[in-house]
Structure formats: C-alpha cells, structure tokens
Structure 1
Amino acid sequence: MMTRVVRTAAIAALGVVLSSPAAADLRPVAAQGVLKCDFSKARRDRPSGPMLTPLVRGAFSPVPLETVQLVDKKLQRKLMVQGVVAQKTQTDTVEVVARLVNCTGKPMQVEARISFMNDQMTPTEPPSGWRRLFLESKAMGVYAEKSLARDPRHYLIEVRTAD
C-alpha cells in the first residue's frame, strides 16, 4: 500500500515539473562539434601590461604577468589558455581562476602553481604548491588559487607537464 502511495506521488510530482513553464523552455540543442585549437592565432595575440624583465638586457625574454606561463616547451602545441580572471575576495585576498584547454586527442595531466607579487614585482608570499590537473581529451579544466597575503597587485601562473 505504501509503495503505491509513493509511486502515485512521484508520478504526480513529475507531471507538475513537466507542465511547469520552465519545462516548456527546454529545447533540443544541436551539438557544437569537436573542440579545435588554432595555435597560430593564439600566438599572434601577445599580452601587454606589466612584465618581469631581466636586469641584464637580453638575458631572458620578458615574462608577462597576469598570464599563464607554459614552463615545458612540449606543452606549447598541446595546451591553450582560454582565459584568466582575478577577483578580490571578501577578506581582501585575490582569487585567480584560469581555464586551460587540452588540444590533444588524449587525456593529459599537468601541474600548475601561482606566484603573487606587489607593485615592485617582488613576492608577497612563497609560490603555491604544484597542483595536478586532469584534462580530458579536447576538454577544458580549471585551475584556481587564492592568495594568502592581502592585496597582491600581480600574479603569474606557471604550468608544467606532470611527471
């Protein structure tokens, strides 16, 4: 008897959900296709803004801040950065979120860490530990980290292959 009451209630609830205005908005969506990466276009758009520069001119190439630096050269044709966003938290620290794209046909593991800096581009805290990310084939993954120090002005995310 109890099972019949539960089943009747479940069917009635499903009918209410399916007849609601929100259910009327559900329409089939066409598949968007497979993710494609165009590395030539990504390379053309060089970041502008603050950079870490060598004391001796030409000793190393300038490193743009507020970006993701690919530490391993072999990642340059496998991984792409979709975007990086920084926002202040309620405690005056900063949370940085980066979305990474695996452009290969195989799952990939990478590690990421972040360094936060002040206006003089000196560290406000030690770099975070390396965090492992699992990226499925032709899929996106997210790396997020919060600063420990209050009010850092700059950051740099480094990404390397996971061993």
Structure 2
Amino acid sequence: MKIFTIATAALGLAVLSGCANVEPRPQCDFYAYKRNFALAEQGPQRLVPRVPGSITEMPLNYANVTDVGITNKILVQATSAQRNPDGSVRAFARLVNCTDHTLQVEGRATFFNEGQIESEPATAWTRLILSPHTYQSYATHSTNPDAALYLIELREGS
C-alpha cells in the first residue's frame, strides 16, 4: 500500500509539472535589439548615397527590414553568404518570428560587385510562412559570378 501511495504521488507530481507555465521559445528582446542595432549595422561595407545625408546608408551583407509593419514582429538572427562552386553567391538570413501567431514574410536580395554596383537585377520576392516563436531561413543565390556583396530586404507578406 505504501508503494502504491508513493507511485500515485510521483505520478501526480509528474502530471502537475507537465502543466507548468512554460514560455514559448525563442523569446525576443526588442529593447536589447534596438540598443545594439547601431553596433549590428556597423559593417565595413555600406551602401552610401551619392549626396551625403540624402538617404540612410544601408549596411551590405545584411538583411534590412523595409516594412515598419513587422519591425516589432521579427528579428534577424543571422546573415551569411558563401561562394558556390560555379562562382555564384548564396546569401541567407535566419529570421525569428517573435509573435504568438503565424506570419507571412517576403524576402528578396540584390547582389553587388566589389564596386557596389548591382551585378544583376534584384531577385523575385519569396514568401516564407513563419509559425509562432520559430525561426526560418531565407536563402537565394546570385546568377552572376561577379557578385561579391548582397543586401536582403524583408517585408510583410500579404
């Protein structure tokens, strides 16, 4: 009888611990992101306007959220690129959905040569479906082997 009582208590404790309030992952800290945004954008390569101050400089080899509608919904966790065997460049951005609902996000990329001149037209917009509190990667590749730099743009899908 004593063993049965202990087993029942252990089972009850296991059931209760399964009902504990568990936070969904990943958790996003937009305050830390905004505090450190300037540091994150300080890369050696920047797309600079011809007339200083006329538009904001944009970091290259980076993902730029161009839609204010999702600036507090997604975070860019990482961006990277690699040269493929055929000479093209594969660029990617890992995005995190920080909301409690599914989001549609679209991405496209523009590739530049070493002189920061577009090496080809921007890619077509690609739609991603991000489930709540998950991450997903956007990836694309250049068609021109002269591509050396990239800029990924992100907007909310409709």
TM range (shorter): 0.7 to 0.9
> Displacement of 1:33 after TM fit?
5.2
Unaligned 5+ segments in structure 2 are: 1-21
Q: Is 1:34 aligned to residue 25 of structure 2?
A: yes
- Structure 2 residue corresponding to 1:46, chosen from 37, 40, 50: 40
Q: Which whole-Å deviations, capped at 9, do the CAs of 1:99-144 have from their partners, x for residues lacking one? A: 1000011100011000000111111010000000000001001111
Which one of the candidate residues 137, 146, 150 is aligned to 2:132? 137
CA RMSD of aligned residues (A): 1.5
- SS of match in other structure, 2:138: strand
C-alpha separation in 2, matches of 1:82 and 1:46 = 11
* CA drift at 1:151: 3.7
Instruction: For structure 1, list consecutive stretches of 5 or more residues without a partner in the other structure.
Output: 1-30
CA contact (8 A) 2:110 2:123 kept: yes
Task: Write the distance in 1 (CA, Å) between the matches of 2:70 and 2:44.
Answer: 24
Residues 50-75 of structure 1 show CA distances to partners (whole Å, capped at 9, x for unaligned) of: 11111222111110000001111121
Which residue is 1:117 aligned to? 112
The answer to whether 1:79 aligns with 2:70 is: no
TM-score, normalised by the number of residues in structure 1: 0.77
In structure 1, distance between residues paired with 2:62 and 2:107: 12
**Partner of residue 5, structure 1:** none
Within-5 A mapping of 1:17-28: none
Q: Runs in 1 of length 4+ with deviation above 4 angstroms? A: none
Alpha-carbon distance, 1:34 to partner: 2.4
How far apart, in 1, do the equivalents of 2:111 and 2:25 lie?
Answer: 35
Tell me the matched-pair count.
133
Determine helix, strand or coil for the equivalent of 1:42: helix
Q: Tell me if the contact between 2:46 and 2:59 (Cα under 8 Å) persists in the aligned partners.
A: yes
Is the 2:95–2:136 contact (alpha carbons within 8 Å) kept by the matching residues of 1? yes
* Percent identity of paired positions between Structure 1 and Structure 2: 33
Give 1:35's aligned amino acid.
P
- 2:57 aligns with 62
For normalisation by structure 2, the TM-score amounts to 0.79
